[in-house]
Amino acid sequence: MGFDYAPALESRSIVDISSSYGLFIDGEFVEASGPSFKSVSPATEEVLAEISSADAADVDRAVQAARRAYTRTWSVMSGAERAKYLYRIARIIQERSRELAVLESLDNGKPIREARDVDVPLVAAYFFYYAGWADKLEYAGFGAKPRPLGVAGQIIPWNFPLLMLAWKIAPA
């Protein structure tokens, strides 16, 4: 007598990985000017996806788009409005935590337990933390009229990609 088992909660089958990814600029995926590279799982050597690599022109396009978004939207938004976005990001991270943990584990070889129980919950926690501060900056002792300062760029390393995103993007 045989048993049919459902996929494990942390198996590769719960994530949908496209065969290739472009650059996300100005609200949409676009083709890169630079070459692409393969994202390979260090645990299995499986090619996960082909990833576009930005060149200087692509980075310039992304920075220009980010500056437009900053000038037109983010910099004129109240702290309470910015907090709503940060809270929503935190909730989405929580809702998709299993998928994010599997992707983090596949992409950098981190044990699933560490990705699931440490990294992803911390990512959500950072967004919650900074969302909580967003509407308090006017009177919390950070000087007169604290405001967003502008566009922030970052290079994401292989070892903590989601945490690096949270550490840099949430407070910005």
- The overall average pLDDT reported for the chain is 89
Q: In a 10 Å sphere around its CB, with 0-12 CB exposed, 13-18 middle and 19+ buried, how is residue 33 labelled?
A: middle
Report the distance separating Cα 159 and Cα 153, nearest Å: 18
Helix (H) or strand (E) holding 148: none
**Does the structure show a pLDDT above 80 at 22?**
yes
Report the distance separating Cα 130 and Cα 142, nearest Å: 14
Complete domains list, the chain, with CATH: 12-169 (3.40.605.10)
Produce one character per residue of 135-147: b if its CB has 16 or more CB atoms within 10 Å, e if not: bebeeeeeeeeee
pTM of the model: 0.86
Report the distance separating Cα 121 and Cα 89, nearest Å: 13
pLDDT confidence band for 8 (50 / 70 / 90): low
**Does the structure show a pLDDT above 80 at 162?**
yes
Tens of pLDDT along 111-150? 999 999 999 999 999 999 999 998 887 777 666 666 777 8
